[in-house]
Amino acid sequence: MRECLEYPTALNKVIRKEIMQFTVTMKGSVQKFEKKIQALDLISPKDAKKKEYVCAKINNRVRELNYDIYYDCNVEFLTVADHEAMKFYEASLRYVVAMAFHNCYPNLKIRFAYNVSRCISIHLVEPHGCSSGEPNRRYRWQRSK
């Protein structure tokens, strides 16, 4: 349903704004909205799992909880028990660790590896600008091969 609202301004101009109504389907219930909302706003304060949700699946795409919704969609909230949410959570952790290393040691290069099931290891790579024969006082780790 489309409606048009008119707002008079100080300069006697009229601003027209179209209102687009959209529906959000979640756990079989349908809700209608006129303004964009965030996925986080759809979580009920009485929901027992509200602190366990990591992300939301919106129209079968995994999105963060502060994703803006302004169109018809199906929403499902995911916890770390879900495979897709676990991948999302691991990617977030890798990003935080990479940024921490970058802020503390800007010349250090790191690599993430998956050696054992459900295990992520970090391999420290030689800092840029240091040859392997030179000792480096700032970085006291052995180079991983």
Distance CA 47, CA 57 (A): 17
Residues with Cβ < 8 Å from 118, sequence gap 6 or more?
Answer: none
The CATH superfamily assigned to 2-78 is Beta-grasp domain (3.10.20.30)
**Virtual torsion, Cα 145, 135, 121, 95, nearest 10 deg:** -120
What was the pLDDT predicted at 15? Answer: 54
Q: How many residues in total does the chain contain? A: 145
**pTM value surpassing 0.85:** no
pLDDT in tens, the chain (145 residues): 455 555 566 555 655 556 679 999 998 899 999 999 999 999 988 988 889 999 999 999 999 999 999 999 999 999 999 999 999 998 999 999 999 999 998 888 899 888 777 788 888 887 655 555 444 444 444 444 4
Question: 3-class DSSP state for residue 85?
Answer: helix
Judge whether 88 and 62 are in contact, CB under 8 Å: yes
Distance CA 69, CA 23 (A): 10
